[in-house]
Every structure is written in C-alpha cells, then in structure tokens.
Structure 1
C-alpha cells in the first residue's frame, strides 16, 4: 500500500467507531429527549469523555437509561479509539506518514526514471548497480525493507494499478519486473504497458517455459536466470580475465557502462570521421562499436570511419561522460 493508504488503513477502524458512537448518541438524544442537534452532540461528548460538565438536557427515565447504555458501551470504545491514535503517534506513524507524503511528491517530479518491482536478491542488486550509474530508481515491494530508504520507494503490491501510478509509471522510461513469481512478472508487465505505451519492460523469468509466454505478451527483454548463470560460469572458464574486468567496471569505485547513442539525422557529426570529432579527448568515451540501420555491427571502428545518419554508437565510459557526449553528437 502507499503511505497515504497505510495511514488510513491504520486509523480507519477507530475513526469509524468514533463516528458511529457520536452518531448513535446524538440521534438517541434527539429522538428520546427532543433536543436540538448541538445540545445532543454536546451531551454525547461529555457523557463519553466523562469530563463531568453540566448536563444541558434534562433527562427523563428513558434518557437516563439511554445514557447508562451509552456510558457502558461507549466509554470502552472511546478508550479503544484513543489507544489506537496514541499507538499510531507513539510508534512513529505520523512521522512515517509525513515522510511518505514527501516521498510521493518527490516521485511525482521524476521523469524517465526506472521502476523496479520486487526488492528481493535480484531487485536490490539491480537497484544498487543502477544507483552507481546515477539513474533515478523507484523500487516497489509488498514489504518494507530498511535498505529501501536508499532509494525512492513505494510499499505495496506492484500488480495494483494504483501502486504503479504512485511509482510514476506514466513518466518512467523502464520497468524491471523482478517479482518472485513469473505470473506476477507477466501481469505487472502487461499492466505497465497498458499505462505507458512507450515504456521498456524487462522481466525476470525463473522457468524456461515462461520465456516464450513473456515474449508473446510484448515484454521487451526477458532475462532467464539459469541461462545467465550458465553463461557466466562458461565465460569464467573460457575468458576469466574478461569477466573479472567487467566486474571491476561494474562494481568498482568508478562505474563504467556501455551505452547506445543514436545519431539523429540532423546531427552535425554526420559526414565527419571519428578522428575529426576526437571523442576520446573531448569526453573520455571509448567507441566500442557502431551499429548500422541494417543490423551490421562494426567493432572497434577505424579512426577514419565516416558517421552516417541513424548510426548507433556503442560507447563505454562513466555516466557523466555519456551525458556530456550528447552535446557533441546531437
């Protein structure tokens, strides 16, 4: 649930009880003693709170019996209501509520952020790596975990439309479905696509049979965990130094990433060579490969390669270097 819903779910019952007691008492005095609304409400309040103020209604026998009933039934319920409010404030409920309201307002201001549904072993690691890459991340999980305080977060069921809305689904660029159940990952992915047609969805699959189903429903990228594990083990045998180097890049103090940069048709670098734009000196970025519109890829392109419109560059560097390169390319 969101923080707002949590606040009202905690206090809904005691508030309802208080309203019912006040209503019964007020209506009772109006019907039995023919008193006006304000006097009846006042009489109900002083009876329930046992403050001992002067009665404003002269009670007959029926009124006295009703008052006895109201005291016996109401005082205990009022005590329950007061204790519920006290527990909420003493246990930090109000502080948590205000903190949650602040969090929701901050999330509403985000644009092109990444939503991670599920903060288990996979989701928490994904969030950690994305934070190193200085991406805005909103994590969603049904249970509150202390580590979630390191990120924008929503506590609630990720398959609920309202929870995704609270996480800023309409302004997000990517959603990662990392819930424990493949069925839930499929459901949350479909919901995300319905709420934001442009969002890219990446889903985790535990079962091989789920991979095909996920692709059929339109999930952009499916990550089958056992396949990834098998590939890593094989690569540790085939190219151990390369794997270790990648780990250093992704987990070291300086986080390096490989990013795609699309060359727009109006880019001023079209018709220029790699050596002419001198990307390495100006930004520190390394051009790993260039992908052509027809799918052909040129790895480690020569310095005399001439850029063409709709080229896609694969570059490696820090997030700051990648952001700095945008003014050069487009």
Structure 2
C-alpha cells in the first residue's frame, strides 16, 4: 500500500464510485473519420521539416518550427534566409496545410452535426452520476404516473433513475427535472447494469402495457438470481384490472397499484364523507408533516414475541402508537388494546415521528429485552 493510499485510509477518504468500464459507450470507433486528416498532418510536418533541412540546411529545431508556423499559416516570417527553391517549397507547404485544415474542419462539423459523439459523451457523464447513487429507485417508462411519482420522490429526497426507450426522454428529462435518466429498454440486462440496479432499493414499472410490466418484473427477478444479490428488490407496478394485479403479484411484484380501484375508493370516500376529502393527503403525503405511518416487522427471535402490547411500553419509550396489527396469516386487527399479544412474524402498524418509528424498529429487532424497558 503506497503512502497516498494510507493517508486516504487514515482520513476515511473514499473514491467516488465509477461505472464498470464495460458499460461505458465507446467513443474511439466514432473518431475513425479523423484518422486521415491526422495522418496528413503528420506527413506534412515530416515532409516540411526534411524539406527545410535539405533545401536550406536548417537545423532540426529551426526546421520543425519553420514548418509549424508555415503549415498553420500564422505568418511569423522566416527563421533564416530562404532560397528561391525554399520559397517555392514554402508556398506548396502553405497550400497543403490549408487543404488539410479545411478537410479536418469539414469532417469535425459533419461529425458534430450527426450528434453521435456528443450523445456518447453525455451518456458517459450520466453513467458516472448514476454510479454514485445508493438506495435509489429505478423508475421505468415515462408517462403521467412517472411525472407525479418522481415529483414525490424528489420532494422526499429519494434518488431515482428514469429509464425509457424513446428518444424524447432527453426532452422530458429537462422538462420534468429528471437529474438521472437513460434512454434504453428497461428489461435489458445492460440497462439494469447501467441503472446501477445492484445498489438500488427497488424498481417501479409504470407502463400502460401489462406485457411490458410482466417482462420487466420477470427480468428483474432473474437479474437477482444471476447476480446473487443479498436482498430482493422491492418492486412496485401498476395494473388496470384486478386480474392483472394478481398476475403481477404472482410473478414477483411486491405491490401492485390499480388506478381504477384507487379512483373508485377515493370517489366513494368523497361521496360519503366530503369533509374528509383532504385528510389522507394532509396526514400521509404532505412532505412537511412531522407524523408518519409505517409497518414494523416482528422477527421470530424478537424479545417482544408473546408479550402483551402494554408490556412493551412502546409509547413511553418511543412516543409512538400501535394502531393496527397484521398477523402472520394476514388477519388485520385495528386499534388493538394493551392485552393483545404480539405474535411471531406479525407486522405492527405504527404512527409517530420518523425518528421515533426508527427507534421502535431497533427495539423490536433485538433478541434481549432492552435495558430502558426495565426502568419504565
């Protein structure tokens, strides 16, 4: 280990993550058009240098310098007196230089107008930005749902990458503030590698086509198996009909949202209780609301298994409240009383501040009874 590495380790400096070299698009094949002007430039410089040495007996460095200022037509004058033959040679060299530079500029303009090199450089920069993301969501397919979802993710400071195969994604990214995005087929393995899926928290597929969602969910689950990832991804999808919802869940989606069902539930709630119209948005979806609601999983080894709710003293310690319990068999018990037992592998629906909910998760994940409970 060299000195620089030791210093970086001592100061806990970490190098910025970079994408795999195999994922970066190649620039060099698109520079082949510049090879001919470059070869002509080198040949002209060599011929010019030899010409001044042979014709007017210039020293080597003077010959190189004279060739350079003549070839580039900067007009600095002669390094030393030049014979008539040398002047004819200089005129030929100026014409050759002008021809080489004109062709090089024409090729450069043509390549820039094609836009391939510029697009490749932009994609390379984007891949470096994506490689720095951790615990982000990969959002697939741009549509109205994507616009709203990414807006909420941005407000909650959750990083994300948007993938869409259409070339308009570049325009949509500017319009809707997608800081990281890719123009690619979401279900392709290369796209998943470029989106840094290995470090992602999950994937959201929002295609209008059920076939696209099916293909993507299956591809992600195969990607997990092939790369032996330590944890499964959390996959969220959309489906119009309830039959499609069941299909996507069987394929491996963790949550499937049905816009039709949600709209019907919302309209029904508004019709029956107009005064409660904005309660859900104010309570759960507003970013500046200090209260949050989250599920807390009780593992088999938790000290709280077979304890009564009142014996955990959760509210006294974390200032949170349990408003529901989902048993292992899926049965839900709302507003449980203090005498209700906490069973193995159940899920507690907890309400409180985010930091307090995090504390509750830590308490229930311990094997031994926490010390703070002994003094309550």
Do these two structures clear the TM 0.5 threshold for a shared fold by scoring above it? yes
Residue 105 of structure 2 corresponds to: 78
Decide whether aligned partners of structure 1 residues 121 and 69 sit closer, same or farther in structure 2, where only a CA change above 3 A counts.
Answer: same
Counterpart of 2:217 (choices 189, 193, 201) is 189
Sort the Cα spacing of 1:205 and 1:308 in 2 relative to 1 into closer, same or farther, 3 A. Answer: closer
1:1-330 equivalences under 5 Å are 13=30, 15-23=31-39, 49=72, 72=99, 75-81=102-108, 100=126, 103-107=129-133, 110-111=134-135, 113-131=136-154, 134=156, 136-141=158-163, 142-143=169-170, 144-148=173-177, 153-159=180-186, 160-197=188-225, 198-206=232-240, 211=245, 214-215=248-249, 217-252=251-286, 253-254=288-289, 256-330=291-365
The change in CA–CA distance for 1:205 and 1:283 in structure 2 (over 3 A counts) is same
Assess if the C-alpha contact under 8 Å between 1:140 and 1:158 holds in 2: no
Q: Deviation string for 1:287-307 (max 9, x for gaps)?
A: 121122222222111012222
> Does the 8 Å contact 1:154/1:166 carry over to 2?
no
Structure 2 residue runs without a partner (length 5+): 1-18, 52-64, 79-84, 164-168, 226-231, 366-376
**For this pair of structures, how many residues does the alignment match?**
308
The unaligned stretches of length 5 or more in structure 1 are: 36-41
Distance in 1 (CA, whole Å) between partners of 2:137 and 2:249 is 20
CA shift at 1:322, angstroms? 2.1
Distance 1:46 1:285, change over 3 A: farther
TM-score by length of 2: 0.62
- The offset of 1:176, in angstroms, is 0.7
- Rounded Cα–Cα distance in structure 1 between residues aligned with 2:204 and 2:265: 21
Displacement after TM superposition at 1:180 (Å): 4.7
SS in structure 2 at match of 1:305: coil
Alignment deviations for residues 82-101 of structure 1 (CA, whole Å, 9 cap, x no partner): 7978xx9xx9x98x789746
Per the TM alignment, residue 239 of structure 1 is displaced from its structure 2 partner at its CA by 3.8
Shift of 1:269: 2.1
Indicate the SS of the match to 1:267.
Answer: coil
After the TM superposition, which parts of structure 1 deviate over 6 Å for at least 4 consecutive aligned residues? 7-12, 27-30, 42-48, 64-70, 82-85, 96-99
